[in-house]
Amino acid sequence: MKISPTQIPGAFQITPEKLYDNRGYFYEAVRAEILSEAVGAPFSVAQVNFSVSRKNTLRGIHGTTLPPGQAKLVSCVRGAVLDIAVDLRVGSPTFGHHAVTYQDADSGVAVYLAEGLGHGFLALTDDTCMNYLCSEVYVPGTMIDVDALDPAMALPWNLTEPPIRSAKDAAAPTLAEAEALGLLPRYEDCIALYSPVPEAQ
């Protein structure tokens, strides 16, 4: 598998190498020791989640407070999505910046998100299924919600019609409002858990 950093420190794209034969193909979606080495922190799975969405469903932007924090490996196992990661870490040099990844079931492409990063996606097909491997179990009251349509973030959803959203997502604060309310994690607290591997000189 190929693990590539995105524009946001702590967010990585994982692209598998497929082995084809007359039956179809096989690939490794993730290998813990390789992923941990690439991202600079151990990654173990404490909870596995799935979501199924209709076409034009917009989920997010969602994150987790620190503590407990929650790193995620997110992949599309049926259908296709436009996936966006957002840096929610107050004080980060890339605070409010985003990284876009197209994911579909055929490609096997996944995204790793370190603690402090937010995540959202737009379902491009009906019956889209997303898989989330989470480093920590869900703790009620620790989810961070930020408006995916916040004009200041200007996330490139390329919508052609109003998206389908939950009432909670539609009522979520903007990034600036979430920061003012003290809902977002601090950069220094997040990187204390996450130490990227230095780039080769």
Residues 6+ apart with CB under 8 A from 50: 77, 129, 130, 131, 132
Chain centroid to Cα 175, Å, comes to 16
Query: Is 62 tagged catalytic?
Result: yes
Which of 25, 98, 112, 132 is catalytic? The answer is: 132
Residues paired with 3 in a beta bridge: 14
Residue of 176, 194, 174 lying closest to 11 (CA atoms): 194
As a whole number of angstroms, the distance between CA 134 and CA 129 comes to: 16
Which of 62, 98, 112, 187 is catalytic? The answer is: 62
As a whole number of angstroms, the distance between CA 120 and CA 113 comes to: 11
Name the pairing type of β-strands 19-21 and 117-123: unpaired
Name the pairing type of β-strands 80-87 and 117-123: antiparallel
As a whole number of angstroms, the distance between CA 177 and CA 24 comes to: 49
3-class SS at 39? helix
In angstroms, the first-to-last Cα distance of the chain is 23
Residues with a catalytic annotation lie at 62, 132
